[in-house]
Amino acid sequence: MATITQHAPTAARGTTSSLIASDRVEGTAVYDASGKRIAKIEQLVIDKAGGRVAYAVLSFGGFLGIGAHHYPIPWSMLDFDEKLGEYRVDVAEEQLKNAPKIEQGDGWDQANLDRDEEVYGYWEQPGPQQQGQTSSLIASDCVEGMPVYDVHGKRIGKVERLMIDKVTGEIAYAILSFGGFLGIGADHYPIPWSMLTYNEKPDGFQLDITEEELKNAPKIEPGEDWEKTTRARNQDVYDYWEVRYYWIDASDLG
């Protein structure tokens, strides 16, 4: 495993993390700029390759006379309000009425690049950088429960949930359950998203780790709340696995 860890400034250590479990984001209320509740988050759509939230699918039922339609809103348009503990989005009635929406039977985790570009172009937001001709999107509730395989194709665990950075939309960790893997009990481990490789066949994620690495890795203790974990704790996990911190942009590495 190549060491590419980039240490953050000392001042960052010990500060509160801004993580939230993916299953808790779904159902979260969304407010307009004046503080009025106008929508809720139905689900998140994840960019499997990029490791971040591409869209929040919002239901705007009753907002300014608009029915309960579902709209994919780029994550960059959502502002997390620490006081409310919820999200704000600044959209006007006319914008929303003309915006791309999810039609009945539409599978947004199967969207193509042209459709992705349509949404980001309409809202004038920079789109996710994707390779190839097809989208790499998947609904967050589909990721939860997805199997994890070793490099030989043997199933070794599953994704229990994702930990999302509330502000940036970056996926900080996949919380994995490795019950029975090489004699290890059903403990839960936070694994940096960048360590996971998505495979179409079999449908799931591949993870290249050894028994010894996992036995010594940071794990979630009973009663430990990873939404309230500290930045120092986050750094301990990334340092152990020797991967670049998700909160440091590649351009910052020099």
What's domain 23-138's architecture?
Roll (2.30)
The 10s digit of each residue's pLDDT in 151-188 is 888 888 889 889 998 888 889 999 998 765 554 556 78
Q: Quote the CA–CA distance of 211 and 252 in Å, as a whole number.
A: 33
Average pLDDT over residues 107-126: 78
Strands of the chain, DSSP E: 19-21, 29-31, 37-47, 52-59, 70-74, 79-81, 86-88, 137-139, 147-149, 155-165, 171-177, 188-192, 197-199, 204-206
| Residue ranges of domains in the chain | 10-16+144-253, 23-138
The 10s digit of each residue's pLDDT in 16-75 is 457 888 888 888 889 988 888 888 898 888 888 788 888 898 888 655 445 567 889 999
> What does the block give as tokens for 192?
């940096």
Give the pLDDT score at 86.
83
Give the pLDDT score at 144.
87
Q: Could you tell me which residue, 178 or 213, shows the higher pLDDT?
A: 213
Q: Name residue 157's beta-bridge partners.
A: 148
CATH number belonging to domain 10-16+144-253:
2.30.30.240
Q: Quote the CA–CA distance of 21 and 227 in Å, as a whole number.
A: 7
On average, the pLDDT of the chain sits at: 78
Q: Count CA atoms within 13 Å of residue 8 on its CB side.
A: 20
Give the pLDDT score at 6.
41
pTM comes to: 0.78
Domains 10-16+144-253 and 23-138 alike in fold: yes
